Chain A
Amino acid sequence: GQNIDQPTEMTATEGAIVQINCTYQTSGFNGLFWYQQHAGEAPTFLSYNVLDGLEEKGRFSSFLSRSKGYSYLLLKELQMKDSASYLCAVRDRLVSGAGSYQLTFGKGTKLSVIP
């Protein structure tokens, strides 16, 4: 089966650095995504990792270790607007017929940034 674990909630201070972890156990692996979702809004894409290592994009970085089934999202220089839920999603099983792969989402980590 598919299992993706993330902490339910985290709190961090404005200007600080926060790391949101994601562990996964899936029947296959073809890439890992991080999405940001503000309350009442649709998720928006943050990052994609398919190979081991760190991908940096501005204040956000994402890391992947396939052998450990582990990823993290690193947010630097936190701003109040970063308060949101962060969703980890794994592209896992092959969708027969469609010839492509499906995403399985974790339940998300609600990050609160405080002054």
Chain B
Amino acid sequence: GAGVSQSPSNKVTEKGKDVELRCDPISGHTALYWYRQRLGQGLEFLIYFQGNSAPDKSGLPSDRFSAERTGESVSTLTIQRTQQEDSAVYLCASSLGGSGGNEQFFGPGTRLTVL
């Protein structure tokens, strides 16, 4: 496809379970971002990958959150031992690079609900 894709689109899980969210960036985009958006709130930066450089994990809210990216392709965001406060839409974005006027293209998001 031409755009950023994410799966699943919706995920309902029980408190304490682990979840894995997937992002397929636009082909050729070296930069990939994960954001969290709680209901009625702005985007909260989680993690940033740029090529083969060390990722910027400064936005991850706790050690229950982790993310991986294989080269310049797919990324997975894993949340362990989910809590109700983790309920949000998780958005992935990619761009040609991390600097300049390179706009970020967003995926449709994964809506996570923790019961």
Footprint of B on A, CB under 8 Å?
A: 30-31, 33, 41-45, 48, 50, 87, 89, 91, 95, 97-108
Say if the beta carbon of B70 comes within 8 Å of chain A: no
Decide yes or no: A42 and B99 within 8 Å by CB, A87-B42, A102-B48 being known contacts: no
The segment from B13-21, B60-68, B74-82, B101-109 that touches chain A is B101-109
- CA separation between A98 and B51, bound complex, in Å? 8
Contact B103 A43, beta carbon cutoff 8 Å = no
Q: Note all chain B residues with C-beta closer than 8 A to A101.
A: 98-99
- CA separation between A87 and B41, bound complex, in Å? 11
- CA separation between A97 and B51, bound complex, in Å? 11
Is chain B's binding surface mostly helix, strand, loop or mixed?
loop
Contact B103 A45, beta carbon cutoff 8 Å = yes
Chain B, interface residues (CB within 8 Å), range: 20 to 34
Q: Note all chain B residues with C-beta closer than 8 A to A31.
A: 100-101
**B78 smallest CB distance to A (angstroms):** 21
Q: List the A residue with the shortest CB-CB distance to B53.
A: A98
Contact B108 A41, beta carbon cutoff 8 Å = yes
Q: List the A residue with the shortest CB-CB distance to B3.
A: A42
**A79 smallest CB distance to B (angstroms):** 22
Contact B106 A97, beta carbon cutoff 8 Å = no
Q: Note all chain B residues with C-beta closer than 8 A to A98.
A: 48-51, 53-56, 98
**A6 smallest CB distance to B (angstroms):** 9
- CA separation between A100 and B31, bound complex, in Å? 10
Q: Note all chain A residues with C-beta closer than 8 A to B55.
A: 97-98
Decide yes or no: A103 and B99 within 8 Å by CB, A42-B107, A98-B50 being known contacts: no
B42 contacts which of A48, A50, A106 (Cβ < 8 Å)?
Answer: A106
A-B contact pairs, 25 of them (CB 8 A): A31-B101, A33-B103, A42-B106, A42-B108, A43-B43, A45-B104, A48-B103, A95-B48, A95-B56, A97-B53, A97-B55, A98-B48, A98-B51, A98-B55, A98-B98, A99-B50, A99-B98, A100-B31, A100-B50, A102-B56, A103-B104, A105-B35, A105-B43, A106-B42, A107-B42
